[in-house]
Structure 1
Amino acid sequence: MKNRFSGQLLSLSYKFSLTLIFFFLSLASIAQDYPTTVAKDGEGIYSLLKRHDLSPSEHLNAFIELNKNKLGKNNSLYVGQSYRLPNKAQTTQPVSSGGAIYPIFGKTYEQVKPIDNALQGAIYYLVSGHGGPDPGAVGRYGNHTLCEDEYAYDVTLRLARRLIEHGALVYMITRDENDGIRDASFLKPDKDETCYPKLTIPHNQLKRLRQRKDAVNKLYMKHRGSFQRLVITHVDSRSKGQDIDVFFYHDKRSKTGKKLAGNLQQTFKRKYDTHQPNRGYHGTVSSRNLYVLKYSYPPAVFIELGNINHYRDQQRFIKSNNRQALANWLAEGLLLDFKNNK
């Protein structure tokens, strides 16, 4: 069954809209009774849901909403406490082979199957740069125009899909409901991107940044106490003669953000040492006074993926395999960060 909701991407293999869920819950609280269960010793929400044949990634938020006044710190359960269980009919159902459909990824990539639960409990907010009325940096490749917002978004979509495969809960803050993951070399620019949940992106830069910051911070407060990270992706614009490696920035006040950036940088260095040992890797980690880094609640990293005006860097973007490699390496860095902070 396909989801038609436009809300966040959820962990493991499911996507549903918080707004629609809350609507269903409001109706259900009037119209029906919910089954209940008693928490066992050592049991958390995930194991409790699995015990009742309910997918954690599909029913987690519904369970929390139903029992929000009975949960401990970090949504822990109390032994012997009775809890209400979500109704399966109220949320999306799995497709065959343990996957689920995410229309935001497009027809080719919409079915996502879990690989493992390595990122279970982790929450990521993904913001690709610019979008809507602002294409960001613009480069030329022959007769083709390369727009930053399209390539940053495609890499970010691929990253989101990868994180979900590893069990993370992922929110796409910058969204385009009809582009999906694209394998073409030259991505057609458009201006229909929105900001989560479905807000029109303003042209004014400060208003745009504030809109994204507000979306992230509101979600952060909902998940307060959980492991949360913000990942911002951009493409740089420099002279045609300057190629650059992938660079990572953090807010100077955030030790956790600095560690996050360092884990990503270490991953890229290791990857280049393995796959291109004679090339060398010069991407750095440094602090930067950027609005969203400064004012967002979760630890954050700002990533420059390359120079859209340099021929060699352009290969990093126009080849879909390279965009996927960027996403895979970023996901590996985030796996390392999660492991190092558990």
Structure 2
Amino acid sequence: MNIIKIFPVLLLIITTSLFAAKPPYLSVKPASGEGAYALMKKYKLSTEGCNLKIFKEINKLNDDLKLLSGKSYKLPILVYKYNATSIRSTIGNNDWDLARAIQEYNEDLNKKGLKEKDYRKDNVLWVPYEYLNCFDSDKKETVEVKKDKEYPIFGKKYQKIDVKDKKLENCVYYIIGGHGGPDPGAQGKYMGIHFLRMNMLMILP
């Protein structure tokens, strides 16, 4: 067996496998007048931290993030060929919560008309870059912060809250409510003294 003849073939196979393992980014054209932040938010992507950084890098944008009309741009969304078995085996990650979040993401964008077909029908799976790369800690945290939460106390129209991140978790807020205009806001008396502004200390869980 001639090793010299076999080596180039093996090198080609290995190189092809490596490139095939790296999925491409999704390319889209922004709507007229649509900026970078609006475009990313439309596709339910974070506009902060490493996600914004990779968006700038893959599109070679300056800090002003200026987008040109009619030009296609890459979004930090990896396009995988779904293997028709499972999301976990498709992306090579056995995290069930992560797979569930990716499934919900694809279903949501399909319902909104941003993704033409269900990933189980066209075998095209969209995976946000941030789900896999933008958290140094446990990837489950990535999944958790991307889920919407509902607070019925705000009423049906506003009960669904889109949680962007947990940067302010366990922070203490000093809120000054009210003002001295036509609507004075909160009013009260303390030791016989009338005031138009009440201060409130709030600690988030």
Q: Normalised by the size of structure 2, how large is the TM-score?
A: 0.35
- Report 1 or 2 for greater relative contact order, CA contacts < 8 Å, sequence distance ≥ 6: 1
TM-score of the superposed pair, with normalisation by structure 1: 0.23
